[in-house]
Structure 1
């Protein structure tokens, strides 16, 4: 038995025909969808990139404890659990956040790992001399990204294609072996949307304005023609990586390994490209475009192909599912549930609701019918703490503002390992990151799929508050989170 997990970053399910999308060319993802079980109510947990990956590798939603950061020394990970069962694991990726400060110990937990350089701000191409920046542009332009782009002379030079080709090469050498777990992870279609011109030409893009390949996070601040252009750039980048995924599928078929292989296709989160008058992520409410993510699972021999599952699932369920199919023990720290019963028709649901969000922002819950976004009750977001034994975060360190207020102790119920308790809010000081999300909202997804009309319904809100409390309790939420959200 083998498991191959294919993961794209920032994949909007509404771009895929399997989820009703139109206009984006993804023939190979469509091909996989035809052979797979499709999950309609699959949700992220912790956002964005690295928090989502910690969820995937530990089977726990960690965003109530901390945000962006490394795998903790007390985390019991998927690759480590596989190793204990004698199962080899390998990851091939171009996601450079794994190798920046705040991305420690993810790839290193695999038996082997393979990293392909050049995405976004990866400090790869070394040049003291700066390239000239455009006089006018929309969105973001970053010097290191422009230096990296000088290496992309051919399509094969782009990091996404290099990553998928490396996965094909690994399978050529190892694919027919038994009992391994392979993760194939492409950063595309994450911004900036870099792709050869011939993919952009597929979308009849005639844009002639200032350069725009990397949207800012926040309210749309570009003219309609630029917004249309960035949407086409996203589609073109997705079409490019789909083309290379086709090579990976071809390799699996040619090696004739699919009869005894579990194939998983998913993402970490989506991205806004004009929906809700916003672009990006991180600073706004976690709308469905961000949190309701695609999941396709191809069972060995293509069993149950074409089945659609309506039960609520989320990313923390993938670790126990993989361990279940691979015959490995599931650690008692895992909060997710194996999806095997859903996949094989012996179970109707694994959870009542999915809990998701960013650390220190709204805490969100959905039962598939309603989505509820619970905002902090005060502008200072007090009280809020990060709990970690490794105080790194996105390219920086936690606690530098007020180190004298950091405590250390055994604050987490599921481990005896001591951690730092680091204040992330100060009483009376406005917490700027919450500027877009200071309003609690309820949406009826059955009648308002695109979340355009917040609902006033006391009975529905009361039920969602009950689900929120239950989900937070199951997740082991620190007590101050209930105070922060006005739930205490």
Structure 2
């Protein structure tokens, strides 16, 4: 049963959803008087939630939030790794614009964030739970009045280990030298505790709080009761390797292949992933209950989203992300709960993007002029105003980044628009400097799981493929050397406008 305080917050959410269908955002005497809470649950697929259609989901807090808020059914991320995606969330810019194109690459000093934009009207704080968002890897701390990224002594870790995702190797290196090293993250419960401690120290000033939960990310290690909630094998929960997702980053390729060949092992892993999400949902309930106790919940604009999804086998890609640009990695939840439950129960079908979040927050607060973004406000969609614009979504995967002049993992870019998806990818080989390029094209309207590549089958329709190929090609070339100046090529943007993409 939910904790009493959490249950109280849930009851309040559900009551507001049931009783306030015609309410509007309360008038404020000065811009920015509302509190803002942006919560990102790392590695959370949209289809893992009850409000997005998963019948056996155990996500009561998020589902209640959606019932009394606005749910965007088709929200996409602009990157499939944590650092670039969260920087897009907080800037309203594409990775090529803000400069953080892969994990471990810090945001450009020339780029402003939502925290910067709200600095004059709000006390600002960020509470992060994964090592890719610590200040040394992200450069975000100086943008906030308070930034809590204290998880473990990652300060000594060589930057190259962060950038190449060599987490396991770095941990073993430290342990051999006598360092005591915890997981490179902290549980959501600890992050909630620290967030509420900060909230309780504030007076009546408006707050902007960014909260990041890392839990659904591998290794999947939910508290046992949450794993059992989804049918995890009780016997395996006594096995340390099985309990934390078989240390997916630690085991060999042969061990991974053996694991995914076992239906029981796959079912156990999926139960652990679902358990992580249920645990994060419970902690979100604690956070909302704490805001209610502080008298802040009803004055808070709440945004709930994720940085990216997770591969669960549909493209033979298991329990990971960052390598492909299929929707299993890019389709993320986006729920906006307005103060006084304005627009409760609204579901928006239009394609929207994470880079639209920052301008949406600023328009609600009446502070649009404080931040230049490529993203567009979604407030009119929440209010039910029709909008037939294409609102394309570009996404990138730069994987390990550039090392000694070689892009080890290659480069991938996708364009999602007009009910279709075009993916361009290149692979770079260190031994010969050989480059292989490939295109994949999917019609999402009748192939939402992206199982039929029309390029491979020779059945690519003339339109919109030709138009999308041209736009993606221009985007690829013009952003190849982008360095985070905060501006894309003006000629490229003008071409996109003429084609109806902006």
With the shorter chain as reference, the TM-score category is: 0.7 to 0.9
RMSD (Å), alpha carbons: 3.5
The structure-2 alpha-carbon separation of the partners of 1:189 and 1:116, relative to structure 1 and needing over 3 Å to count, comes to: farther
Which residue matches 2:220? 193
Distance 1:269 1:454, change over 3 A: same
The 3-state SS of whatever aligns with 1:325 is: helix
TM-score of the aligned structures, taking structure 2 as reference length: 0.72
Distance 1:20 1:201, change over 3 A: same
Query: Aligned partners of 1:237 and 1:308: how far apart in 2?
Result: 26
User: Could you tell me which of 391, 401, 411 is aligned with 1:352?
Assistant: 391
1:323 CA displacement: 1.9
SS of structure 2 residue aligned to 1:337: coil
CA contact (8 A) 2:126 2:147 kept: yes
Tell me if the contact between 1:44 and 1:269 (Cα under 8 Å) persists in the aligned partners.
Answer: yes
Q: Indicate the residue corresponding to 2:196 in structure 1.
A: 168
The aligned counterpart of 1:10 is 43
Larger deviation: 322-331 or 285-294?
A: 322-331
Q: Which residue of 2 aligns with 1:180?
A: 207
Q: Are residue 446 (structure 1) and residue 445 (structure 2) matched? A: yes
Instruction: Choose from 454, 457, 462 the match for 2:460.
Output: 457
Corresponding position of 1:41: 74
Judged with a 3 Å threshold, the aligned counterparts in structure 2 of structure 1 residues 79 and 17 are, in CA distance, closer, same or farther, namely: same
Paired residues for 1:6-405 under 5 Å:
6-63=39-96, 66-68=101-103, 69-83=105-119, 85-99=120-134, 101-103=136-138, 105-117=139-151, 123=154, 143=172, 159-174=187-202, 177-206=204-233, 208=236, 211-212=241-242, 213=245, 214-216=247-249, 221=257, 222=259, 223-224=261-262, 225-282=264-321, 284-330=323-369, 333-348=372-387, 351-359=390-398, 360-367=410-417, 369-376=419-426, 379-380=427-428
Instruction: State the TM-score, normalized to the length of structure 1.
Output: 0.74
How far apart, CA to CA, are the structure 2 residues paired with 1:336 and 1:116? Answer: 31
Partner-residue secondary structure (3-state), 1:362: strand
1:430 matched to which residue of 2?
434
CA distance in 1 between counterparts of 2:314 and 2:326 reads 9
Q: Name which of structure 1's ranges 85-94 and 342-351 shifts more when overlaid on structure 2.
A: 342-351
Q: Which moved more, 1:44-53 or 1:205-214?
A: 205-214
Are the equivalent residues in 2 in contact too, given 1:200–1:232 (CA < 8 A)?
Answer: yes
Range that drifts further, 6-15 or 142-151: 142-151
Q: Deviations over 1:396-429 (max 9, x none)?
A: xxxxxxxxxxxxxxxxxxxxxxxxxxxxx99x60
The whole-number CA distance in structure 2 between the counterparts of 1:471 and 1:339 is: 24
Match of 1:400 in 2: none
CA contact (8 A) 2:37 2:211 kept: yes
How many angstroms does 1:147 deviate by? 5.8
| Cα distance in 2 for residues equivalent to 1:147 and 1:195 | 22
**1:53 partner SS:** helix
Secondary structure at the counterpart of residue 262 of structure 1? strand
Do the aligned residues in 2 keep the contact of 1:43 with 1:291 (CA within 8 Å)? Answer: yes
Q: Distance in 2 between matches of 1:469 and 1:287?
A: 19
